[in-house]
Structure 1
């Protein structure tokens, strides 16, 4: 485990990466935000969002995934468990 201070910031409309990641939203999301999600791996792809009060599973699929999810109001963290490349695009 690492401290949240070393989490990767998600400050732009689009963020991409490969493999497991923790994203820190600063500022927290405001209102329900539609996010386009792509994953090109072959194994589990699991995404959770965290607010100060709750957590919510956004994606839990095996293999490639393409879709849209709603990022809850007040989301401050997003965790990603992936074996391939992924991209999140707000808006």
Structure 2
């Protein structure tokens, strides 16, 4: 899930792809560390627009009833990856997979409840 040197902080989701399930985590570190595992229902709320810097998991109050176009933006140097997830937290669609700066409009599928963002820079998602 992570392989980093130095200070590191990440927000992410796991067990989003069936049938691979994470049932245990192993941490190897030479310094102090903490790990917090929360249910996906505790993800940050996403109303009309979500903004962030770095990785995140966001949620709608209810699954999307109909497909809707959204605008994705990223200002960074590395990967910008956004996945749509359903009400159970399962991946339904890859929305973006770009390197560097990006601006684009994509279709958020009906049934979407969550989105995961992998980014090294600032980003926004607008419905």
Displacement of 1:4 after TM fit?
1.3
* Structure 1 residue ranges (4+ consecutive) displaced by more than 4 angstroms after TM superposition: none
**Which position in structure 2 is the counterpart of 1:73?**
110
Output the CA distance in 1 between the equivalents of 2:77 and 2:65: 32
Gaps of 5+ in 2: 1-36
Correspondence for 2:44:
8
1:37, 1:8 → 2: CA distance? 17
Within a 5 Å distance, the mapping from 1:1-91 to structure 2 comes to 1-11=37-47, 13-52=48-87, 54-90=91-127
Aligned residues: 89
Larger Rg: 2
Deviation at 1:79, TM superposition (A): 0.2
Q: Which has the higher contact order (CA 8 A, sep 6+)?
A: 1
Structure 1 gaps of 5+ residues are none
Q: Distance in 1 between matches of 2:112 and 2:49?
A: 16
The structure with more strand, counted as a fraction of residues: 1
Deviations 1:15-51 (A, max 9, x none): 1111000001112212111101110010000000011
Tell me the TM-score normalized by structure 1.
Answer: 0.89
TM-score, normalised by the number of residues in structure 2: 0.65
Farther off after superposition, 67-76 or 49-58: 49-58
